[in-house]
Structure formats: C-alpha cells, structure tokens
C-alpha cells in the first residue's frame, strides 16, 4: 500500500507552479490559530471534530435503543428513559450531525478550492457560524444532562407543550441557535458561489458538488427561519400557556405539524443533496468518465430543492388534514421523486464504458446509489396515500428514512472523508482497512434496517419501548446488524488517526482527479493556490485509461 507514486497525470491541465507558503495545517500551532482562524479549511476541521463527537453521542443513544429492542419486554431502560433516548438520537443526528455534516465540513473545505477562491465570501461570519453551532449543540447536550426530554425530535404538540415534563425549552433553544448557524452558513455559500468563482468558471462548468451545496444553501436560508419561528411559538405556548397549538387554549395541533414539516421536509433534502454532490464527484473520478447528463444532474438538484418545499403535508396523511390536501401533497411527492430517479439513472450511465476502480470512496459511492435507490423507492410506498395509511408511524417509515439518511448521507459522508482525506491531511489512508470498513458498514446497515421494513409492514409502531412477541425475530436481526454497523463506524477512527502519522504522502492529486481542488498541494497552503488557477475547460474531463494505474500497483 505504500508505493504511492505521485502522478500529476495528463488528464487535468498542468497545475500552476507551487511556490506557496506553509500548508494550512502548519500555519500556526497555537490554540488561537485554530479557534480564532478565518481559514475555511481550519473551520472545516473544527466542524468535522465537533460533528464526529455529536455523531458518537447520537450513536450511543441508538445503540442503547437497539439493546432495549433485542427483547420484547422493556427491561433494559425505563419507558421514560427510552423516550429520552430516541429523542436525543433524533435531535442530535438531525441537527447536530446530518444537517451540518457534508455542507459545513466538506462544503467549507472544498467550495472555495473548487471554484478557485481564496476563502468564503465572509470568513469571519464562517467562524461565527461554527461558534453558533457549538454553542447550540452544547445547549442541546445540556438539556440531556439536565434530565433530557421525551417529545421525540418532532416535538409534536400538545404533548410537547402540555404533557411532557422534560427540558423541552432548553433543547428548543439549542436547536434555534444551531438553526442560525445553518442560515449564516447557507448565506455564506450562496454569496461565495455567486461572487468568488475564478474568472472563466461559468455556472455550467461548476462541479456538481458546488451545485449541490448551492441548492442546499437555498433551502437552509429559506426554510430554517420557519423552524425558528415554529419552535419559538412552541416555547411561548409551553412557558406562558398562549394558545397557538394546544386546543385546550384555542390552538390547533395540526398547525404545528404544518409549520414543523414546512422546515423539516426540505431539511431532508439539506441532508441528501450534498451527499448527491459527493457521489457525483466520486463516480466520474473512479470510472474515469465524464459525468453522464451534467446539465440534467444540475437541474435535478435545483428541482429537488424547489419541489421539496411543497411536499411537507405528506407527513400528515392520517393526521386529520383534509383528504384534498392529502391528494395534492401526495402528487407533489411523486413529482419530487422524478429528479431523484434521473440522478440514479445518470450515475449508472456514468459507469458505461468507464474504466472503473473500486477504491474505498467508490465503494461508498456505489453503496450510496444502491441504498438511496431502495430508500427512494420505499419513499414511493409512503407517498402513495392508501399505502401510507398502513405504513406511516411504523418501522417502515423508520427504515425508509434511515436508508436515505444513513444509507445515503452517512455513506456519502464516509465516501467524501476517504476521497478528500489525502487533500485535507496530505496522507493516504490504508486502502485495505478502508475497504473492509466500507463492507462492514454496507452489510451492517442492511442487516439493521432491512428487517425494519418488514417490521413496519407487520405493523410494529415506531417509538415503542416494549413490543408484542411476534416482532422479536426481526428486532434481534436488526440489533445484530447495528452491532456490525457500529464496528464499521469505529474502524475509520483508528486507521485514519494512524494514517495522520504513518500514511503514505499523498501528493497533490493521488486520484488523478480533474477538479480544481486537486491542482494545489496536499494539504493546500493557507491561501489555497500559489497563483490564480485557470478555470478548467472541463471539470469532468476524465478519459478512460486502459491498463494499470500507477496507484496501488501492488494491491490490484
């Protein structure tokens, strides 16, 4: 694995001469040089560390739930604790992991590099966003350590306002603060993509990852304020008994659901669009092919972001909203599935006549395509009104959105981590270990969540602390899968840490990729490029190479 030769390759245009200053990692070693940095790359690292910590905490909550569910009786934790566990798992994974994961960590690191910019448009604001995120996250954690809350991450009223006795308002405060971090990050990306592209880099020459971050940012800026409004109203009702959502005070509980999902459904696309962007970078690179249907891929991202705003009511087909509203939301939900299907077909077509290698990033990307397809197709089941009446609020829905969120977003996150690891750290990760971890994650994930589709069809409701005996066999499979998944998640922690010291030097472009980010040294200098890079003629200008790659000559 250690025979990596640096090959700047004929595929990308010759990189400009590198006479830059120290790499961003060597540019200061004091605490202040990190915690007061304005460098988008260092801020990306700060995000990555915080996100990893939150992912671990959310994962521990999930692990405890899976232990509880290994037997039908509620005998591992109390029913109250179980409710607090699934609330903690949901709140942390949604707001502190999934939403910031790819945009804030990889978007921060890569967007300026990919468009040939020195930094984001507002570097100080970028640092401020990280502090908001960490403070908000700390408030959420404080609500857990104070005793937690049991509302579920959806905070449905009137349970959350009148019946829950947990630390609801504290957690809401944390989520609202994190929301401002989202808004400011989105704003920063939008302005950056509009104003900081290197001369000659037109919109339809941008990498799809940048398109994805751009579409995501639009959603963050437009939808997150509604979440803040909703949660503040909820807090007002809980604290001052103002009748907004509670019918006992003249409010309407369905109003809360409408407002909550107006944010939270687009938020699903915040989680998955960046993942699509990552896959659209990895698949062409390892297939050595131009991405198939570039413009359709870019338009599909925007279409998903736009239509995604109009489908929120599909969470409410049995809530008592009018049947007419249900039909409109159902039809729009089928429409939003079309651009997703287009993307899957285009990724598949990109493989045709390629010259495909199966390094770890590609394994994750192909895993994404498969799992996202299953998650998307089961989305059709729950978008179909009469079918959803049976499936909603069961484990079918749990499984459906975990196929999108974990099978999709988390696999893409790991794919991105391995693909850009050489760029971020200057070191190669150990390929064998990485492929093994990818295999474990894929296998463990399916064993965890596929049985949940069956459980849902059988009728097991979600958020059940104890369950009837006939559901046990599938739950045992699911818990067993979760333990394998956990090993798959833990492995990279060790081998990536190891590679920081002992990994082979990566060189500027170990994958012979064509993006601008590969035309500077690894790790890049603080100012990103020694001189203004030339806009690439074709950001996916890959050519199929026959024969062996200079990479991993001993491993193939």
Partner 1 sequence: MNDGNGVGAGFGWLGPAASSAGERADLLLLVLFVVCGTVALALAVLIVWFSVRYRRGSKADRSNPPSNDWRLETAWTLTPLAIFLGIFAWAAWDYAQLSIVPADALPIQVLGKQWMWKLDHRNGRREINELHVPLGRPVKLVLASEDAIHSFFVPAFRLKQDVVPGRYTVLWFRPTRLGEFRLFCAEFCGAEHSKMIGRVVVMQPADYARWLESGPLRPGLAARGFELYRSLGCSGCHDERSTVHAPRLQGLLGRVVHLQDGRSLVADENYVRDSILLPKKDVVAGFDPVMPSFAGQVTEEDLQALIEWVRATGDQRTGGRG
| Closer of 216 and 346 to partner 1 (Cβ) | 346
Q: Of 35 and 345, which has the nearer Cβ to partner 1?
A: 345
Q: 3-state DSSP call for residue 23?
A: strand
Question: Residues 22, 200, 247, 550: which binds partner 1 (CB under 8 A)?
Answer: 247
Of 152, 207, 361, 492, the residue at the interface with partner 1 (CB under 8 A) is 152
Is the CB of 294 or the CB of 420 nearer to partner 1? 294
Residue 404 is classified by DSSP as I
x/- mask, partner 1, residues 287-306, rule CB under 8 A, reads: xxxxxxxxxx----------
For residues 39 and 388, which CB has a smaller minimum distance to partner 1 in the complex?
388
| CB 419 to partner 1: min, Å | 17
Q: How far is the CB of 167 from partner 1 (least distance, A)?
A: 16
What minimum distance in Å lies between the beta carbon of 462 and partner 1? 8
Of the candidate residues 6, 385, 480, 504, the single one contacting partner 1 (CB under 8 A) = 385
Q: How far is the CB of 338 from partner 1 (least distance, A)?
A: 5
d(CA 317, CA 380): 14
Residue 348 to residue 483: CA distance in whole angstroms = 31
In this structure, what token pair is assigned to residue 536? Answer: 């690439």
369 binds partner 1 (CB under 8 A): yes
Nearer to partner 1, 157 or 522 (CB): 157
Dihedral angle sign, alpha carbons of residues 65, 66, 68, 71:
positive
Q: Which two tokens stand for residue 336?
A: 């939003």
Q: Please list every residue from 211 through 230 that binds partner 1, using CB under 8 A.
A: none
In whole angstroms, the minimum distance from the beta carbon of 223 to partner 1 comes to 24
The residues in 413-472 that bind partner 1, with binding defined as CB under 8 A, are 457-459, 461-470
- Does residue 162 touch partner 1 according to CB under 8 A? yes
Task: Compute and round to an integer the Cα radius of gyration of the chain.
Answer: 23
- The SS3 assignment for 353 reads coil
The length of the chain, given as a count of residues:
556
User: How many beta carbons lie within 10 A of that of residue 280, not counting itself?
Assistant: 26
Residues 503 and 326: their CA atoms lie apart, in Å, by: 54
Q: Token pair for residue 429?
A: 């990760």
Gap between the Cα atoms of 471 and 174, Å rounded: 36
Size of the residue set binding partner 1 (CB under 8 A): 101
Which one of 151-159, 194-202, 401-409, 523-531 is the stretch in contact with partner 1 (CB under 8 A)?
A: 151-159
**What single string gives the DSSP state of each residue in 103-125?**
IIIIIHHHHHHHTT-SS-S-HHH
State which of residues 224, 280, 373, 514 lies at the interface with partner 1 (CB under 8 A). 373
Query: What is the rounded CA–CA span in Å between residue 406 and residue 72?
Result: 25
For helices 411-425 and 40-68, give the axis angle rounded to 10 degrees.
Answer: 150
Among 150, 237, 281, 517, binds partner 1 (CB under 8 A): 150
- What is the Cα–Cα distance from 386 to 120, expressed in whole angstroms? 47
Q: Does 384 bind partner 1 (CB under 8 A)?
A: yes
By CB under 8 A, tell whether 341 contacts partner 1: yes
Q: What angle do CA 402, 439, 463 make, to 5 degrees?
A: 25
State yes or no: residue 252 binds partner 1 (CB under 8 A).
yes
Query: Segment 10-69, which members bind partner 1 (CB under 8 A)?
Result: none
Q: How far apart are CA 145 and CA 435, in angstroms?
A: 37
C-alpha 36, offset from chain centre: 26
Q: How far apart are CA 386 and CA 397, in angstroms?
A: 15
Cis omega (within 30 of 0) on the bond before 156?
A: no
Min dist CB 442 to partner 1, Å, is 13
> Which residues lie across from 427 on neighbouring strands?
505
320 is a site residue for partner 1 (CB under 8 A): yes
Among 67, 351, 436, 504, binds partner 1 (CB under 8 A): 351
Identity of the residue, 89 or 465, whose beta carbon is nearer to partner 1 in the bound complex: 465
* CB of 324 vs partner 1, minimal distance in Å: 9
Is 334 a binder of partner 1 (CB under 8 A)?
yes
Exposure string of 252-278, with b = 16+ CB inside 10 Å and e = fewer, is: ebbebbbbbbbbbbbbbbbbbbbbbbb
Draw the binding track, 475-514, toward partner 1 (x: CB under 8 A; -: no contact). ----------------------------------------
Nearer to partner 1, 228 or 278 (CB): 278
H or E, element range at 263: helix 253-287
Q: Between 23 and 355, whose beta carbon lies closer to partner 1?
A: 355
Cβ 92 vs Cβ 54: under 8 Å: yes
Binding mask 260-289 for partner 1 (x = CB under 8 A): ---------------------------xxx
Which of 93/300 has CB closer to partner 1?
A: 300
| Span interacting with partner 1, options 191-199, 260-268, 371-379, 485-493, rule CB under 8 A | 371-379
Among residues 52, 319, 472, 483, the one that binds partner 1 under rule CB under 8 A: 319
User: Which residues within the stretch 74-113 sit at the binding site for partner 1 (CB under 8 A)?
Assistant: 74, 78-80, 83
State in angstroms the smallest separation of the CB of 128 from partner 1. Answer: 36
Whether residue 161 contacts residue 260, with contact meaning beta carbons closer than 8 Å, is answered with: no
Pick out residues in 386-405 that bind partner 1 (CB under 8 A).
386-390, 392-394
- Whether the CA torsion 534, 537, 540, 542 is positive or negative: it is negative
């Amino acid at each position: 694995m250690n025979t990596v030769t640096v090959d700047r390759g004929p595929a990308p245009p010759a990189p400009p001469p590198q006479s830059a200053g120290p790499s961003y990692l060597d540019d200061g070693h004091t605490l202040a040089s990190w915690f007061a940095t304005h460098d988008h790359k260092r801020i990306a690292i700060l995000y990555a560390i915080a996100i990893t910590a939150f992912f671990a905490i959310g994962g521990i909550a999930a692990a405890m739930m899976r232990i509880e569910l290994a037997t039908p009786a509620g005998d591992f934790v109390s029913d109250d604790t179980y409710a607090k566990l699934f609330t903690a798992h949901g709140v942390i994974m949604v707001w502190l992991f999934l939403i910031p994961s790819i945009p804030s960590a990889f978007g921060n690191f890569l967007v300026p590099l990919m468009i040939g910019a020195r930094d984001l448009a507002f570097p100080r604001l970028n640092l401020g966003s990280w502090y908001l995120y960490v403070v908000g996250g700390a408030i959420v954690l404080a609500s857990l350590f104070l005793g937690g809350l049991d509302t579920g991450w959806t905070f449905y009223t009137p349970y959350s306002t009148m019946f829950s006795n947990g630390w609801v308002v504290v957690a809401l405060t944390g989520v609202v603060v994190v929301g401002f971090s989202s808004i400011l990050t989105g704003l920063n990306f939008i302005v950056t993509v509009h104003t900081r592209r290197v001369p000659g880099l037109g919109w339809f020459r941008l990498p799809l990852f940048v398109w994805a971050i751009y579409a995501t940012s639009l959603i963050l800026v437009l939808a997150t304020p509604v979440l803040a409004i909703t949660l503040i109203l909820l807090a007002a009702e809980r604290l001052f008994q103002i009748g907004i959502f509670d019918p006992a005070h003249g409010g309407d509980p369905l109003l809360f659901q409408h407002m909550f999902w107006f944010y939270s459904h687009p938020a699903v696309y915040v989680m998955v669009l960046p993942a699509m962007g990552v896959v659209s970078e990895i698949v062409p690179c390892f297939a050595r092919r131009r991405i198939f249907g570039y413009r359709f891929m870019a338009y599909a991202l925007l279409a998903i972001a736009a239509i995604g705003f109009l489908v929120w009511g599909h969470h409410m087909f049995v809530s008592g909203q009018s049947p007419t509203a249900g039909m409109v939301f159902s039809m729009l939900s089928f429409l939003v599935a079309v651009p997703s299907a287009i993307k899957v077909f285009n990724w598949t077509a990109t493989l045709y006549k390629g010259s495909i290698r199966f390094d770890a990033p590609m394994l994750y990307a192909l895993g994404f395509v498969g799992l996202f397809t299953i998650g998307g197709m089961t989305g059709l089941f729950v978008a179909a009104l009469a079918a959803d009446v049976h499936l909603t609020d069961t484990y079918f829905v749990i499984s459906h959105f975990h196929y999108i969120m974990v099978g999709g977003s988390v696999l893409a996150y790991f794919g991105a981590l391995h693909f850009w690891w050489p760029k971020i750290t200057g070191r190669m990760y150990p390929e064998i270990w990485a492929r093994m971890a990818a295999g474990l994650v894929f296998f463990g994930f399916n064993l965890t969540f596929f049985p949940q589709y069956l459980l849902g069809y059988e009728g097991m409701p979600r958020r059940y602390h104890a369950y009837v005996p006939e559901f046990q066999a599938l739950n045992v499979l699911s818990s067993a899968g979760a333990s394998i998944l956990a090993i798959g998640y833990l492995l990279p922690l060790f081998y990536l840490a190891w590679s920081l010291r002992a990994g082979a030097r990566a060189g500027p472009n170990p994958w012979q990729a064509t993006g601008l980010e590969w035309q500077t040294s690894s790790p890049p200098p603080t100012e990103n490029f020694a001189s203004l890079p030339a806009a690439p003629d074709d950001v996916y200008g890959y050519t199929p190479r026959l024969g062996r790659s200079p990479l991993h000559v001993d491993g193939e």
